[in-house]
């Protein structure tokens, strides 16, 4: 039998790059719906939505990482994540797949950054013809870049 450990990843597109995150961090995937904008928030924070009574901030990763033109189409989705003890949503171009990748196919990350800072990239994975960039989404969302937590107020 196959004794290799596999990791379940959710993959999505940001511009032309394909990213993958740990499926256990994903609470649900929703169609894009307009959020209520927050005053004086950075432009990549689209606002907050009502997720069954909880007020959840939504971040457009495409704006955050300056990926070309940003359009809200019928393919645009909001991925609701559980990071730390918080719930946040990220807007991505499209969710492509849930894949299972064996540990041995995860390659160490490159020394250079793609759209996402190399600090948050855990690995690269080759999958058929595609290359997935595996991101530590929890680390990324709670980092200062995202301006999601209170401690960062002074940095603005």
Partner 1 sequence: MSYDMTQFHQVFFAEAAEHLENMETLLLALDRARPDAEQLNAIFRAAHSIKGAAGTFGFIDMADLTHALESVLDRVRHGELVCDAELIEVSLAARDALGDLLAAHRAGTTIDLAGATAVAKRLSGLMNHTDDGVAFEFMFDAEPARWEETLTALLVELADFGTPSVEVSATEAQPFWRIRMEGCQDPQGITDVIAFVASEVRQLGEEANAAQENNDAADDSFGFFVDFPPPQPEQRTEQKTQQQPDRRSGQKLEPKPGKAVQAANGETTIRVDIDKVDLLVNEVGELLITHSMLLQAATVLDPILHERLHAGLAQLERNSRDLQAAVLAMRMVPIANVFHRFPRVVHDLSNKLGKQVELKLIGEQTELDRGLVERLVDPLTHLVRNSLDHGIETPDDRLAAGKRATGTLTLKAWQHSGMIIIEVGDDGAGLDRERILAKARERGMNVSDTAADAEVWGLIFEAGFSTAEHVTDVSGRGVGMDVVRRNINALHGRIDIESTAGAGTRVSVRLPLTLAIVDGMSVAVGSETYIVPLGHVRESLQAVPSMLHEVGGTRTVLQVRDEYIPVIALAALFGIRDAERDFTRGIMVLLEADGRCVALFVDALLGQHQVVIKSLEANYRKVPGLAAATVMGDGRVAFILDAVALTARADVSMAA
Residues that bind partner 1 in the complex, under the rule CB under 8 A = 35-41, 47-50, 52-57, 86-88, 148-150, 152-153
Within 10 angstroms of residue 22's Cβ, the number of other Cβ atoms is 17
Q: Which two tokens stand for residue 26?
A: 């994903």
Q: In this structure, is the dihedral angle defined by the CA atoms of residues 101, 85, 149 and 58, taken in order, positive or negative?
A: positive
Rounded Cα gap, residues 10 and 98, in angstroms: 5
Give me the least distance between CB of 139 and partner 1, in Å please: 17
Is the CB of 71 or the CB of 151 nearer to partner 1?
151
Is the CB of 40 or the CB of 74 nearer to partner 1?
40
Nearest to 26 by CA among 95, 81, 84, 90: 81
Give me the least distance between CB of 56 and partner 1, in Å please: 5
Phi, psi of 37 (to 5 degrees): -65, 150
Is the CB of 80 or the CB of 134 nearer to partner 1?
80
Give me the least distance between CB of 107 and partner 1, in Å please: 34
Give me the least distance between CB of 138 and partner 1, in Å please: 14
Is the CB of 34 or the CB of 66 nearer to partner 1?
34
């Amino acid at each position: 039998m196959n004794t290799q450990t596999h990791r379940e990843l959710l993959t999505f597109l940001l511009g032309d790059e394909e990213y993958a995150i740990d499926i256990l961090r994903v609470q649900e995937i929703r169609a894009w719906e307009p959020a209520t904008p927050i005053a004086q928030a950075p432009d990549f924070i689209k606002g907050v939505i009502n997720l069954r009574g909880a007020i959840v901030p939504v971040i457009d990763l495409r704006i955050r990482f300056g990926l070309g033109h940003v359009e809200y189409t019928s393919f645009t989705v909001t991925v609701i994540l559980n990071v730390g003890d918080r719930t946040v949503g990220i807007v991505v171009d499209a969710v492509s797949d849930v894949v299972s990748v064996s540990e041995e196919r995860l390659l160490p990350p490159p020394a250079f950054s793609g759209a996402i800072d190399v600090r948050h990239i855990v690995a690269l994975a080759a999958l058929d013809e595609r290359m997935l960039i595996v991101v530590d989404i929890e680390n990324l969302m709670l980092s200062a870049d995202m301006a999601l937590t209170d401690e960062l107020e002074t940095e603005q």
